[in-house]
C-alpha cells in the first residue's frame, strides 16, 4: 500500500495534462494581473480592524514591527511557492506541488485541506461584506428585513441574502472567464488601494508624537488557560504568550499574520498565466511586498492618531478618525472595506475551484468536474457547484467559530510546500527552475518552523475540528480517490513522452 499512496505524479505529466483540449484552461493572465489578484485577496477587513485591535491588546505602537515579522514569515513561504509555481505551472497550488514531490496521499490531504480553507474563507468574507453593506444602507436610512439581513438578528428563520447573492454573482463572473475576472478585480483593487492610501495620507496629518510613547509598552504576562479555547501550546507546555514588550511583538505577529492570508491563492492561477516561469514569482512576491508596506503604514498612522490604550476593538481606524474630529472618514473606510471584500471573496472562490478542478483532472474526484466550458475555457462545473454550496453556507451557517480553520489550513499548506521544495530538489535536480528559492535548505526549514509556531498558537478546538475534517478526507480517499486516480489506472505517460521538454513559456 505504501507504494500506491506515496506514488508521485511526474512534473512532465502534470504539464502535458494541461494540454488536453477538454481539460485545458485558457492562458490570459500577466504578472500585473497576478499582482492585482494578490493585493485584492490579501487586503481585506484586517487592514481596517486588525491593526488597531492588536495594537491595543498585544503590542502597542510596536504593532508595525509585528507586521514586519509576520511579513517575513510569509515571505519565507512565498519564496517556496514561487519556485514551485514557476517550475510546475499547473492549477492546484499546494495540491499539485505535493503530488509532484511528496506523493498522492499527501497531495490529497493538502487538496482536501485547501477545499475547506477556501470554502470557509469565501463564506466568512461574504458575511463580512454583507455586514459592511448593511451598515452603509443603515446610514442612508435603508434597513434590511431581519429575516434576510442576518442570521443572528432574526427570530427563527434567518438567511443572509446579501452574502449569498454576492457569492452567486461572483460565481457567474468566474464562469465567464479569467480575463473578465481580472479586469473587475483591477478596478476594485484600484478603488480599495486608493481608499487605503487616502486614509494613510489623511491620518499622517493627524499624528501626535506623544501617542508613540512608549513605542514598546512594558511587558504583561498572560495567565495560561486550560480550556479548548486556549492555544495548543498552553495545553501542551503550560506556556502562555505575553502581551506588550519585545515578546508581545511576536505574540501580535501570530495574530496579524492572518491578515496576510491569500497570497498563496495566486499560485492556483499558474496554469492560466501566459508566462508562468517569469510572472508567477513576480505576482506572488510583488503582492506580498505591496501589502506588507501598506499594513505597516496603516499601523503607524492609527497608533499615531490615537493612543493605543484608547483604540476601539470593533472599528479602531474609523473610530480614531472620529476621535480626532473627522467622522466622515468612518463612512469612507466602511465603503473601502465593502468594495475591497468583493475581490477577496472572488479570488478565494477562484482558488477553491482551481484546486477542485486539478483534483478532478487527476481522478481523485469525479472526472466530470474537470471538463472546461467549450467557449469560456473555465472549469464551469466545479465553479457552479461550489458557488451554490458556499452561497448556502454564507446564507445559513454561523461561521464565526469556524473561521480559524481557514488559518490552520493555510499554515498547513505552507508547511507542505516548504517540505516539497526540499524533496523535489533532491529527487528531481534535473528540472529547469526559472526561479529558485535562495539559501536552500535554510529558507524552507525556517518557513516550516515559522508556520508550525503559528499553528500551535491557535486554539486547541481549532486543531480538533481540523483533525475531524482531515479524518473525513482519509475516508473519502480510501473509498474513492485511491482506486480512481489516473495513476492507479495506469494512465501515465510513456517513458518517451515523459522525457519531452515542457511547453514553451508563452502561448
Residues 24, 280: Cα–Cα separation, whole Å: 19
Is 441 a domain residue? Answer: yes
User: Is position 136 within any domain?
Assistant: yes
Q: Residue 444 has what pLDDT?
A: 97
Q: Measured between alpha carbons, how far is residue 497 from residues 11, 68, 96, 279, 474 in Å?
A: 12, 46, 20, 27, 32
Residues of the chain with pLDDT under 50: 153-154, 493-507
Asked whether residue 231 is assigned to any structural domain, the reply reads no
Tell me what pLDDT residue 491 has. Answer: 62
> Of 466, 418, 379, 486, which Cα lies nearest the Cα of 112?
466
Instruction: Give the three cell numbers for residue 242.
Output: 505575553
Q: Is the peptide bond before 132 cis (omega within 30 degrees of 0)?
A: no
CB 10 within 8 A of CB 498: yes
Q: What pLDDT score was predicted for residue 499?
A: 40
Q: CA–CA separation, 272 vs 28, rounded Å?
A: 6
Q: How far is CA 215 from the centre of its chain?
A: 30
**Is 444 a member of any domain?**
yes
Q: What is the CATH number of the domain that holds 441?
A: 1.20.1740.10
* Cβ neighbours around 425 below 10 Å, total: 18
Domain interval for residue 76:
2-215+248-492
The angle that helices 31-42 and 178-204 make with each other, rounded to 10 degrees, is 60
Please report whether residue 211 resides in a domain. yes
What is 361-420 written as a DSSP string?
A: HTTSS-GGGGPPPTTT-S-HHHHHHHHHHHHHHHHH---GGGTHHHHHHHHHHHHHHHHH
- pLDDT, residue 287, reads 93
- Alpha carbon distance 485, 361 (integer Å): 9
SS (H, E, C) 44-66: CCHHHHHHHHHHHHHHHHHHHHH
The 3-class secondary structure across 185-241, one letter per residue, is: HHHHHHHHHHHHHHHHHHHHCCCCHHHHCCCCCCCECCCCCCCCCCEHHHHHHCCCC
Other Cβ atoms closer than 10 A to 427: 13
Judge whether 227 lies within some domain.
no
- Cα distance between residue 253 and residue 233, in whole Å: 16
Structure-block grid coordinates of residue 316 = 479602531
Q: Which three cell numbers stand for residue 425?
A: 530538489
DSSP state letter for 220: B
Grid cell listed for 287: 503582492
Query: Is residue 194 domain-resident?
Result: yes
Global pTM reads 0.85
CB 314, CB 48: distance < 8 Å: no
SS3 458: coil
Contact yes or no for 364/477 (Cβ under 8 A): yes
**Total count of domains within the chain:** 1
pLDDT tens profile 85-131: 999 999 888 999 999 999 999 999 999 999 888 888 888 888 878 87
The DSSP 8-state label assigned to residue 477 in this structure reads I
Q: Which residue has the cell 504576562?
A: 221
Judge whether 461 lies within some domain.
yes
Buried/exposed 114-125: b ≥16 CB within 10 Å, e otherwise? bbbbbbbbbbbb
- Name the residue with cell 500585473: 32
Amino acid at each position: 500500500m505504501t507504494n500506491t499512496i506515496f506514488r508521485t505524479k511526474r512534473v512532465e505529466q502534470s504539464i502535458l495534462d494541461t494540454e488536453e483540449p477538454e481539460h485545458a484552461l485558457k492562458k490570459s493572465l500577466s504578472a500585473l494581473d497576478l499582482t492585482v489578484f494578490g493585493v485584492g485577496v490579501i487586503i481585506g477587513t484586517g487592514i481596517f480592524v486588525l491593526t488597531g485591535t492588536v495594537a491595543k491588546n498585544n503590542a502597542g505602537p510596536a504593532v508595525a514591527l509585528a507586521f514586519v515579522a509576520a511579513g517575513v514569515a510569509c515571505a519565507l513561504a512565498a519564496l517556496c511557492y514561487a519556485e514551485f509555481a514557476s517550475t510546475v505551472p499547473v492549477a492546484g497550488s499546494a495540491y499539485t506541488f505535493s503530488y509532484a514531490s511528496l506523493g498522492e496521499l499527501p497531495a490529497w490531504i493538502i487538496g482536501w485541506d485547501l477545499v475547506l480553507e477556501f470554502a470557509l474563507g469565501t463564506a466568512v468574507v461574504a458575511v463580512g461584506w454583507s455586514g459592511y453593506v448593511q451598515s452603509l444602507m443603515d446610514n442612508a436610512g435603508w434597513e434590511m428585513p431581519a429575516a434576510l439581513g442576518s442570521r443572528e438578528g432574526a427570530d427563527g428563520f434567518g438567511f443572509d441574502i446579501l452574502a449569498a447573492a454576492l457569492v452567486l454573482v461572483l460565481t457567474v463572473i468566474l464562469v465567464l472567464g479569467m480575463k473578465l475576472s481580472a479586469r473587475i478585480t483591477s478596478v476594485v483593487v484600484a478603488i480599495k488601494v486608493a481608499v487605503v492610501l487616502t486614509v494613510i495620507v489623511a491620518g499622517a496629518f493627524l499624528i501626535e508624537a506623544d501617542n508613540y510613547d512608549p513605542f514598546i509598552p512594558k511587558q504583561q504576562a498572560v495567565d495560561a488557560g486550560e480550556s479548548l479555547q486556549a492555544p495548543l501550546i498552553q495545553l501542551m507546555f503550560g506556556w502562555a504568550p505575553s502581551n506588550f514588550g519585545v515578546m508581545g511583538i511576536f505574540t501580535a505577529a501570530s495574530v496579524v499574520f492572518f491578515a496576510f492570508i491569500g497570497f498563496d491563492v495566486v499560485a492556483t492561477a499558474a496554469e492560466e498565466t501566459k508566462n508562468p516561469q517569469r510572472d508567477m514569482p513576480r505576482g506572488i512576491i510583488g503582492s506580498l511586498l505591496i501589502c506588507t508596506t501598506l499594513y505597516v503604514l496603516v499601523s503607524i498612522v492609527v497608533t499615531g492618531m490615537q493612543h493605543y490604550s484608547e483604540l476601539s476593538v470593533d472599528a479602531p481606524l474609523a473610530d480614531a478618525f472620529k476621535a480626532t474630529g473627522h467622522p466622515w472618514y468612518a463612512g469612507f473606510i466602511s465603503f473601502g472595506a465593502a468594495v475591497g471584500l468583493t475581490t477577496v471573496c472572488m479570488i478565494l472562490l477562484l482558488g477553491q475551484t482551481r484546486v477542485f478542478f486539478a483534483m478532478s483532472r487527476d481522478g481523485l474526484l469525479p472526472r466530470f468536474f474537470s471538463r472546461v466550458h467549450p467557449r469560456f475555457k473555465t472549469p464551469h462545473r466545479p465553479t457552479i457547484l461550489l458557488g451554490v454550496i458556499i452561497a448556502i453556507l454564507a446564507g445559513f451557517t454561523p461561521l464565526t467559530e469556524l473561521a480559524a480553520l481557514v488559518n490552520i489550513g493555510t499554515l498547513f499548506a505552507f508547511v507542505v510546500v516548504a517540505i516539497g521544495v526540499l524533496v523535489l530538489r533532491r529527487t528531481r535536480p534535473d528540472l529547469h527552475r526559472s526561479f529558485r528559492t535562495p539559501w536552500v535548505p535554510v529558507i524552507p526549514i525556517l518557513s516550516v518552523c515559522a508556520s508550525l509556531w503559528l499553528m500551535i498558537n491557535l486554539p486547541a478546538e481549532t486543531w480538533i475540528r481540523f483533525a475531524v475534517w482531515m479524518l473525513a478526507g482519509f475516508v473519502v480517499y480510501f473509498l474513492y480517490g485511491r482506486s480512481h486516480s489516473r495513476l492507479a489506472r495506469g494512465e501515465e505517460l510513456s517513458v518517451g513522452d515523459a522525457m519531452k521538454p515542457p511547453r514553451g513559456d508563452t502561448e
